[in-house]
Amino acid sequence: MNDLGSVGNGYIPAEERASVKSSLMDVKFRSGLRIFQDHCGFIDGEIHTFIGTKGSGKSTWSKTILSEILYEGKSALLYISEEAKSKYLSSLNNDFLLAGKKEEELKGLMENLLVLSEIDAGYDNEAKTLSLIKEVIEHANIDLFIFDNFTTSFMAELNINTQSAILRSFKNLAKICNIPVILFFHTGKMYDTKRLDGDNVRGSGTAVNIGSYNYLIAQHNDGTKLRNFVYTEKARYHSLANKRMYEMEYNPKFGVFTGCKLSSMKEFQDLMGGKTTKREV
């Protein structure tokens, strides 16, 4: 006989409803950026995906998120697939020093960041790697996990069915550990930047299907200024943030985004098409 223990009716008691609402609306991860403020910061137990072309600012987004998390006194686990740990962290440490942190303050902040580097460790077995990630999160009581990025990891070289199973494992990881899991992906080779199509992700389409919050990132260079945009293609539990376009303010001194203002899809598409429009207020 099948196990029917997980089957229940549609009624949710008032106390449980209040608990669910609190988990979605109470701000645990505070941000100075409107794009995250609009959906109450990163949400525990949910997948957040960032998708963009090569060189579209994914590493900048990763460092921006890490900076905000560490400044708030939270802990993070970062998995990097493209860089050696020493090179990545040297840049991040220097950015904090440029922001005015003293060496002792820097040490205190960075002790809350744990890093796994695929290049340094030579990870090549998905089951062992996923088990290690879960073990570190639980042992160190990690608040947030970032994978930068899946497309350049050995996992993206596996067959599509295996990739999908791995991505579902990350979904389960977010739920079991009750933390936000942030995954970065490259777009497909035939990606049309003007359309910002989240379905055109390189590899398994599960990448976008499992995300509760999906962000499509893009850059435009008119020859004089590089402009950064992000479109919240999906914000499952926060209608205010859903289908919204934002333009980011990049601080070259610190190497992170330090500002964010509401834009529009029309403004973005006109810009990418060579047109100019007045900014919407």
Higher pLDDT, 279 or 70: 70
| Percent of the chain whose pLDDT exceeds 70 | 91
Cα-Cα-Cα-Cα torsion 15, 209, 166, 213, nearest 10 degrees, comes to -60
Give the pLDDT confidence score for residue 198 in this predicted structure.
57
Range from 8-12, 136-140, 229-233, 271-275 carrying the lowest mean pLDDT: 271-275
**What pLDDT shows up at residue 11?**
94
What pLDDT does 274 receive? 73
pLDDT of residue 197: 60
Contact of 185 with 167, CB cutoff 8 Å: no
- pLDDT at site 35: 95
Q: What is the identity of the amino acid at 114?
A: L
Higher pLDDT, 8 or 136: 136
pLDDT value at position 272? 82
**Residue-wise pLDDT tens digits, 21-53:** 999 999 999 999 999 999 999 999 999 999 988
Q: Which residues contact 4 (CB under 8 A, 6 or more apart)?
A: none
Q: Which pLDDT band, with edges at 50, 70 and 90, does 279 fall under?
A: very low
Indicate whether 227 pLDDT > 60: yes
Mean pLDDT for all residues in the chain: 89
Residue-wise pLDDT for 203-223, tens only, equals 677 777 889 999 999 988 877
Mean per-residue pLDDT for 215-232? 89
Query: What share of the chain has pLDDT > 90, as a percent?
Result: 70
Q: Tell which residue, 239, 240, 238, has the closest CA to residue 24.
A: 238
Instruction: Assess whether pLDDT exceeds 70 at residue 280.
Output: no
Of the two residues 189 and 56, the one the predictor is more confident about is 56
**Choice between 276 and 234, residue whose per-residue pLDDT is larger:** 234
How does pLDDT run across 87-110, given as a tens digit for each residue? 999 988 988 888 788 899 999 999
Q: Look at residue 203 in the predicted model and tell me its pLDDT.
A: 64
Q: What is the pLDDT of residue 199?
A: 58
pLDDT at 195: 62
Distance in angstroms (rounded) separating the CA atoms of residues 42 and 49:
11
Q: Is the pLDDT at 124 greater than 80, yes or no?
A: yes
Q: Which of 55-59, 79-83, 132-136 has the lowest average pLDDT?
A: 55-59
Q: Model-level pTM?
A: 0.90
Q: What is the pLDDT of residues 145-204, one digit of tens each?
A: 999 999 999 999 999 999 999 999 999 999 999 999 999 998 865 445 566 665 566 667
